[in-house]
Structure 1
Amino acid sequence: MGKKETLIKKVSVAVRHPLSAGKRLTKRLLKKPGRAAVVLFSLCTGLSLSHAGIAAEALVAVASNFTAPAKDLAAMFEKDTGHKITLSFGSSGKMLAQIVNGAPYDVFMSADQAKPEKLEHDGLAVKGTRFTYALGTLALWTADSGSSAEAILRNDQYQHIAIANPRLAPYGVAAEQVLEHLDLTGSSQPRRVMGENITQTWQFIASGNAEIGFVALSQVMKDGSITSGNAWIIPPEYYQPVKQDAVLLKRAVQNDAATAWLAYLQSENAAVILQRYGYGNFPVTP
């Protein structure tokens, strides 16, 4: 058994997660190589305020679909650790461009896997820290609670349909895949309203500029219920899985708040929040 495997085994048996009130790290967490790397990296750099003794700050770039759960997680994280997290939301594509051009982000939470992987490949992110923090779910939503979003789409009873720009937002790619699966690509094309990101897409529908549109389920669900309007949760076989990856950026190697945040995203506390907003099972390492 090598030194790394021995260390991981010892951590899984003896270490308590310093960010979740002494709860033991799950075996599932430590069996995943990318997760173990982040956890061990965090332990070595002084993961929590109780270990480091000094509060740190981190700027996190977050995909728009994750806005609500990210805010809830940040509030819990700051209370538990004393560290400060500043969240910046936008389309994954635009945030990638900002990072490449020197934006001072410490962590990147994309809506896909390709963009964090590219940053790793280009030397802008710390290798071994990338992992899937959420499994996204696509929904077709209408703000009219008296209507069926699915029926509006299938019966061609709409003038405008909103989707996120597929060149910038992974949820836009998923929406196009659904329309293709339903053989509605051609008929929907001239009636599309394109959002720069999934938040703007939701706004088009909420404001009535589009009768229906594709959004992240997390935008219209909380605690297992649709918060307003009517939503059709798209069958997962209609589109490729939306695996959302996070990664530590190079500038944040010595930032305790950034490494602690990544570890927190992999905790059981985070898993509970994800489920409340309609995300899939406990995230898995790519």
Structure 2
Amino acid sequence: MTDPVVRMATALALALGAVPAQADEVLVAVAANFAAPMTRLAEAFTAATGHTLKLASGATGKFYSQIVSGAPFEVLLSADDTTPRRLIAEGHAVAGSAFTYAVGQLVLWSATPGLVDAQGAVLASGRFRKIAIASPKTAPYGRAAMEVLVARGLEGPLSLKLVTGESVAQAYQFVATGNAELGFVALSQVSVPGKALVGSMWRVPASLHAPMRQDAVLLKAGAGKPAAAALLQWLRSEPAQAVIQSYGYARG
């Protein structure tokens, strides 16, 4: 059977047309929740085009601060749609280049089977000591988590149980290592294609928080760079979207 990366690379080559004569490197800032699918997509992109992607993953808010301070990122894959718009408005990104590459899914997850129920009632049960979230100040998934607690009337009662990570990746690590019994993370972190779910989770209804629209944008450092433009085109293609959706994201 053909390797899935090879199949994606072939589809990518067809989607992008002729492979460029000279390969290049693109410096990409990737929201922490999207690190795993982006690593897989990067393999296919490099196989098809020869371009390499240098990926840095972290909190969207932290990337914003780094970009406005002169960090040389060329493409941003944000965890929200407001940060790319803000970067465009402030002259740090290319006007008209932003688009939604994925719509995220927030989940309440525990590494312990049976701890988290299908309605999220565990939040009010008192059956845990610590709950992890990403920082609401820098991470959109953290802001969404706080919106859920407010909607459930639990912001105050759970305030002393919160363990806050810089990014949703760190919130996941708190739960995975047992430093918190449960936490709000991205579905893509716990639902990996081809692997069974470890633990238990609640898919948080979208009605409990603002939409998790995740936008990509071409930053000024990547303006006029064919490899950066090719990456953004690839993320919109059907093969790339199929991979993205396999990690639990919806299409924008």
Instruction: Indicate how the Cα distance of structure 1 residues 214 and 226 shifts in structure 2: closer, same or farther if over 3 A, else same.
Output: farther
| Partner Cα distance (2:194, 2:135) in 1 | 27
| Partner Cα distance (1:182, 1:226) in 2 | 29
Superposed counterparts of 1:154-193, under 5 Å: 154-193=124-163
SS in 2 for 1:186: coil
Structure 1: which 5+ runs fail to align? 1-17, 24-46
Q: 1:240 aligns with which of 206, 210, 221?
A: 210
The Cα shift of 1:254 comes to 2.2
* Greater displacement, 221-230 / 150-159: 221-230
Residue 220 (structure 2) pairs with residue 250 (structure 1): yes
Amino acid of the structure 2 residue aligned with 1:191: K
| Partner Cα distance (1:250, 1:194) in 2 | 32
Residue 214 (structure 2) pairs with residue 222 (structure 1): no
Residue 65 (structure 2) pairs with residue 97 (structure 1): yes
The Cα shift of 1:119 comes to 0.9
Q: Is the 8 A contact 1:217 1:277 kept in 2?
A: yes
Q: Is the 8 A contact 2:113 2:198 kept in 1?
A: yes
Equivalent in the alignment of 2:241: 271
The structure number with the bigger radius of gyration is 1
Equivalent in the alignment of 2:168: 198
The Cα shift of 1:151 comes to 4.3
The Cα shift of 1:146 comes to 3.9
The count of residues paired between Structure 1 and Structure 2 equals 241
Q: Is the 8 A contact 2:110 2:201 kept in 1?
A: yes
The Cα shift of 1:153 comes to 1.8
Structure 2: which 5+ runs fail to align? 1-9
Equivalent in the alignment of 1:147: 115
Equivalent in the alignment of 1:75: 43
Q: Is the 8 A contact 2:27 2:53 kept in 1?
A: yes
Residue 17 (structure 2) pairs with residue 20 (structure 1): no
| Partner Cα distance (1:132, 1:261) in 2 | 14
Q: 1:118 aligns with which of 86, 93, 100?
A: 86
The Cα shift of 1:19 comes to 6.2
| Partner Cα distance (1:225, 1:182) in 2 | 31
Cα RMSD for the two superposed structures: 1.7
Q: Is the 8 A contact 1:19 1:264 kept in 2?
A: no
SS in 2 for 1:222: coil
TM-score norm. by structure 1 comes to: 0.80
SS in 2 for 1:156: coil
Instruction: Indicate how the Cα distance of structure 1 residues 74 and 203 shifts in structure 2: closer, same or farther if over 3 A, else same.
Output: same
Return structure 1 stretches of 4+ with deviation > 4 angstroms: none
The Cα shift of 1:100 comes to 0.6
SS in 1 for 2:242: helix
